[in-house]
Chains A and B, each alone.
Chain A
């Protein structure tokens, strides 16, 4: 094992060690917990930075990788080409040891490897994707730890908060570094537990606990799907190792020669998969397994079901908006930047598993999710909820990108999104820290008092809206290009045109709701609570329960947050701009640097969407203009005139188009049906409650009744029967049974001195009947054995 493996193992375990120390010595350490946790994750960050530099200094030809895109498709059907399907062998650091071995090798002899043998190695697998994810997670987590020291400063459970954060960091890093899908599942559940604990961090409020439970249980639903997927893979291939499976499944013989997807036509009904493993002696063993095409698809869907749960995709997206009940740094770290992206990460990591139909399903799931969530985000009045739905929507973009074949595009967006969404959430936290409300209708004009927060959030808003030279632009561009290629350039795929329309429309909506949020919060003049009475936007207000702040104007006590909170904002703003840049100073004439780095390790040869890049670029510009324009038209404070800063006394009138504003309330009123539909989040919670939760609870009560009435009824009935029969005890008493009964009864009587309270008399009858029955049975059985 190379030293880098140990470096990454150390980076995973340092937060765990910190967690253990914090847990055991919480009384002793108190507030020092925060420094311990931050120190741990910062060390992990330094380690992953070393790893990052080391990795990309060792990968030759990284920037030549782009040449692959210009190459023609490899000649398929070459019998000698064994696994030459990937552009090139990528650099991987790995190491593992066996954690559990059930069944042993004597059974799994050479002739008959037993499927009932379960060997689970623990291992790390570090490739370019891992290295990049690691750097992103540790970097953002470090910043959020620092920010939290300010944000959570006055919380009585300050030390506990950091304890949970350390556990989360360990689990998340473990998830990223996992070499096999079993470990992914383990850490998957662990991040779920951390999420549960942190959503319910302020457990005094029932709403928060409900949200925590909902998150855990909804995720478990997805996890069952994932377990099914794992079960199929394990029973078929006998391994959980992701890279072995990926390697086998990216075999070009299984794949369509043009679009490189596993298609039934080229793979056949029974898919032969050649698995190459290294056995205990270090020899390479090739085994060909067959799996029905249908089962392969089910396995893919199962694994994807887990990702749907974790990444809050339709129809399991309902938990994420509620999860915002947790402290805002948690929302930024877990429910925006890292954990929820784990589903996308796993789809990317396990990409070769998915057959064509599954990829389409993934793409449509992403498309539907991004549309639903964006539409809901447009009408939320709670700025944190806007960001929550925005996260769901952006995760939908990533899923769609992966589904349409834009492997690097989807993961690229994952990284850029992590930066600007963390920035936006931390900015939202900074606002809440200052005004103690999440309701936008009572805010406004905060830019004057919170300059850093306002303008860093503007950077985030521009990035997510896809404005050129901001990171989000490049990744969204790549997604649109991939979608365009998939449905328009590929022949005969025009029926999936929605896969291009949905992200395009979604991107317009994104720009709209983000500008709406920014303008309502920071622009214009402070509105304050009295305005609430007339403001139709106050709809959801009472539901949010911040009643104690209703007096006065939150603007009055607003203030910029301390440097410990604003410095992370500035750092994140910097990266929200530059992380997506191309080598040409951000000019979109080539793929972004980060996208290169990602596509270097693409597990499957992909189609080249670069050719349609300019079309995507043009549509991106149109989309951003439309969305931002609409946002400004509705929510920007009207410009009366332009006052040049060099001559403040002069005023130039602006054209009427800039002075005129639409009234959002009128629009809401005119389309009140639609507005209510969106404001109620498409009624998902209500439907799930009526269709799933209540029936389950009712079924539970039914079972309880069944227990009481039917099962116990039968038991009591037979007991009565016994009692009835044993009234005839006089007859039996005289016969040979007597001795046996007395023996049993004596035991009862001898100890009965203490047990008098429970001595009922009837017990003796029961026993007697049992004894009689026993004798009868004895006779019967012996007769039967003889015969």
Chain B
């Protein structure tokens, strides 16, 4: 328990300092350009993958990179059906509104969407928690950047596309 407390304390303290530097990610889709290390330290520029950015941000060693990638690949698989349902649910809301459906029907469509949205959020944050487990305390201190990066990470077909977004 002591070690757990210590590691979270370090995480908390360094979250603050890392983010205070202003290069943490943003809630803008969880994948804005400000999430990784300074631009000058980003090898490869725009062709950098998201995994490259996570590796640099958390200073992962190869074995940790492999584990993180595996966690995110699993998250993507879990998220895939939810993602498709979210697209359909959003369209369902729009069609209900545009089609002049009753408030009750629109409300049901919105509730369905909200449930899926929560499911997706939970998948994202569970992946974050799993990644936290493979980090050293000094790396956990940088988890704040990844917290922002996780939002919407599974919104596309593959989280680790070459755009690095």
Q: Does A associate with B in a complex? A: no
A residues whose Cβ falls under 8 Å from a Cβ of B: none
